[in-house]
């Protein structure tokens, strides 16, 4: 994967607005989750810039949160010294589209389209993916698609895919708990890869928390490999 994965994350899961605070950029998430609400390094920074970023977070009605990328060891240490806690370590996985799009899903098992259907919104809601995250999807520039997975003669899975610089990134995957372990997520990812190939992408990527062992095993089993990692540092006022 030659494209910076963090550029792909920002483009395919975009914040509502960006605010510069010294050597940091602070994202305004409007409730859309950590990825669109965190500050990250955007240039040379000083300890005073951390306080600037904290002030911007507070002005936006957000509790201070920083994304720590592999090259951010100095920031990680500085935030740890301030009492910030590590939350949600994440693995970034990717594979060539052709390695995942090896076969078409069975008939009526997985579809890609836009905009999302009502049933997809309902499935996302069941997985805790509500209006604020749907707004993130709406902000993403095309090409993009909503994934719908079916098994047992019913809609059972949902996901979102958007394309940036040759990389199709999958977000917001959710399969109903009672219908997991039946191969549906695997077929949905193959459908995503086929859509990505038609859209001109060379790489399929996604992010998953390190704690989600089941999803990690699934994604690695379909050929996705780790390309990066990150975690967040969250202010003590949040972690308390």
Q: What is the mean pLDDT of residues 91-116?
A: 95
| Whether residues 134 and 209 fall in one domain | yes
> Is 45 in the same domain as 159?
no
On whether both 161 and 219 belong to a single domain, the answer is yes
Residues 75, 97 share a domain: no
- The predicted-structure confidence for 147-184, as pLDDT tens digits, reads as follows 999 998 899 999 999 999 999 999 999 999 988 888 89
Query: Do 225 and 138 belong to one domain?
Result: yes
DSSP structural state of residue 210: T
Q: Does one domain contain both 161 and 217?
A: yes
pTM of the model: 0.95
Kindly state whether residues 41 and 142 are assigned to the same domain. no
Domain identity same for 57 and 118:
no
Both 41 and 119 in a single domain? Answer: no
Residue 187's domain is classified under what CATH number? 3.40.630.30
Q: Which two tokens stand for residue 126?
A: 């069941």
Q: Are residues 176 and 219 part of one domain?
A: yes
Q: Are residues 62 and 176 in the same domain?
A: no
The contacts found for 52-56 with CB under 8 angstroms, 24 or more apart, are 52/21, 52/22, 52/24, 53/21, 53/22, 53/24, 53/26, 54/235, 55/21, 56/19, 56/21, 56/26
Number of domains in the chain: 2
Q: Is the pLDDT of residue 1 over 80?
A: no
133 and 55 part of one domain: no
82 falls in which pLDDT band (50, 70, 90)? very high
Residue-range definition of the domain harbouring residue 146:
93-229
| Torsion 43-47-48-50 (CA) sign | positive
The whole-number pLDDT of residue 45 equals 98
């Amino acid at each position: 994967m030659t494209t910076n994965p963090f550029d792909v994350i920002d483009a395919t899961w975009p914040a509502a607005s960006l605010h510069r605070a010294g050597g940091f950029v602070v994202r305004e998430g409007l409730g859309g989750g950590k990825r669109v609400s965190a500050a990250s390094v955007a240039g040379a920074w000083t300890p005073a810039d951390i306080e600037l970023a904290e002030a911007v977070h507070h002005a936006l009605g957000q509790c201070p949160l920083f994304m720590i990328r592999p090259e951010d060891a100095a920031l990680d240490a500085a935030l740890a010294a301030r009492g910030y806690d590590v939350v949600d370590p994440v693995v970034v996985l990717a594979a060539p589209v052709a390695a995942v799009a090896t076969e078409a899903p069975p008939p009526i098992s997985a579809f890609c389209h836009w905009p999302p259907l009502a049933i997809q919104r309902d499935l996302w809601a069941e997985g805790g993916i509500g209006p604020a995250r749907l707004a993130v999807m709406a902000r993403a520039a095309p090409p993009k698609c909503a994934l719908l997975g079916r098994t047992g003669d019913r809609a059972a899975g949902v996901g979102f895919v958007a394309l940036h610089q040759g990389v199709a990134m999958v977000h917001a995957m959710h399969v109903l708990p009672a219908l997991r372990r039946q191969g549906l997520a695997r077929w949905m990812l193959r459908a995503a890869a086929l859509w990505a190939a038609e859209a001109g992408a060379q790489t399929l990527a996604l992010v998953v928390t390190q704690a989600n062992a089941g999803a990690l095993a699934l994604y690695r089993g379909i050929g996705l490999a780790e390309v990066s990692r990150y975690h967040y540092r969250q202010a003590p006022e949040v972690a308390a």
